[in-house]
Structure 1
């Protein structure tokens, strides 16, 4: 009976933790959303600053409630002190929490239209200037990317996108959509590849169970797009995809997708390195 008892105890602990994190997370999300929305309605001069602080607090709180440790590698002031189009792999809702909470700098997400329909949260999303994309309407999606481009230029923000367009159920990198790379080329803003590992073990796509664990976020070298045009989008996409795969845990890289062909090399702003194997890589441990 010992092994069965131990297993039942682990299941019970997981269920209790999941209910606690989800319940507390819902209350926290709506409380912060209401505060951000109120700030926007009264046109408070500090509203946008509160958006960044609220997003960071929200992301860090959700991670800590779940008992998750975050390791951030490759984050340097020189790399992040400018507008960037940030592209990352997507395995879990915890990718959003981690990037919102731990990625330095002011950033806004480009995400699916459906988030706007969540009461209070959707209104706060609009107030903060996150960009929504209607994936079923190509013309509307183009307008959304143009809006993101204007925000990058006018407000010098980082824009975060998940080019897979959805969470990967098995952790392997899905095919990329081209919007993020067209955006970078049109604005002539460097692309920052980011590899997130460990989030699927915390909370997978088709599961509501939340488990403690370690999520590693590795920032690659910015990919320069100076002088390139939208005709180069496939080459830039392939370069970013290869860099993200190199930054991810190798167990999440399907062999057939590991290194798609790149017809012409796209230079990084500095020589490419792999933070996962470079001993000089900067690492931030949140605990």
Structure 2
């Protein structure tokens, strides 16, 4: 009873404090949505990692995280029409090089991700909470762009993944 009362008072305070800002400030709405989207991303990574733990490390674990992220971001109101999906729903391995510029592109990737696919990520993403464990369980390959030797080892690991009939997605940030 006491906890419910506190939660209700906090919600009323938030509505009173931020309601006028939401109505009058497009900049506030933008930053609020970016923060909420980022929270959804971290939450989806954490939930996806927890759901993937029983499966061990496999490229098929990405489905848990992607589906959770899609459900958490319903409020964005973004819908997708995917054409020529048959090109990514094949049994043989292939390499996809995709360009992304914003955090919003992550949601798009969840809809067009092949079934048996690993990703080549920059090594700094190892430190993103929730996402790091999830990426590890999905057999993501981290590349250290500042060390030539380490980068070559990561690329060799990616090539061996493709040879083992696992598709590879390289997401370049421009």
Same fold (TM over 0.5): yes
Residue 143 of structure 1 pairs with residue 153 of structure 2 = yes
TM-score (norm 1): 0.46
Asked if the contact 2:119/2:141 (under 8 Å) is kept, the reply is yes
Show CA shifts across 1:223-271 (max 9, x none): xxxxxxxxxxxxxxxxxxxxxxxxxxxxxxxxxxxxxxxxxxxxxxxxx
User: Of the candidates 155, 159, 167, which is equivalent to residue 158 of structure 1?
Assistant: 167
Structure 2 alignment gaps of length 5 or more: 1-20
TM-score (norm 2): 0.70
Residue 39 of structure 1 pairs with residue 54 of structure 2 = yes
Query: Could you tell me how far apart the structure 1 residues matched to 2:106 and 2:33 are?
Result: 20
* Pairwise CA distance, 1:88: 1.5
Query: Who is 1:21 aligned against?
Result: 37
* Pairwise CA distance, 1:105: 2.7
Structure in which a larger fraction of residues adopt helix = 2
Secondary structure in structure 2 of the residue aligned to 1:148: helix
Alignment of 1:83-162 (within 5 A): 83-154=93-164, 156-162=165-171
What is the alpha-carbon root mean square deviation over aligned residues? Answer: 2.9
Secondary structure in structure 1 of the residue aligned to 2:100: coil
Show CA shifts across 1:6-27 (max 9, x none): 9825445434433433334332
Show CA shifts across 1:38-65 (max 9, x none): 336xx5xxx5275132143145335534
Secondary structure in structure 2 of the residue aligned to 1:25: helix
User: Of the candidates 24, 31, 34, which is equivalent to residue 8 of structure 1?
Assistant: 24
* Pairwise CA distance, 1:152: 1.4
Structure 1 alignment gaps of length 5 or more: 169-287
Query: Who is 1:272 aligned against?
Result: none
Against the structure 1 CA distance between its residues 63 and 107, is the aligned structure 2 distance closer, same or farther, given a 3 Å change threshold?
Answer: farther
Against the structure 1 CA distance between its residues 59 and 119, is the aligned structure 2 distance closer, same or farther, given a 3 Å change threshold?
Answer: closer
Of structures 1 and 2, the one scoring higher in RCO (CA 8 A, sep 6+) is 2
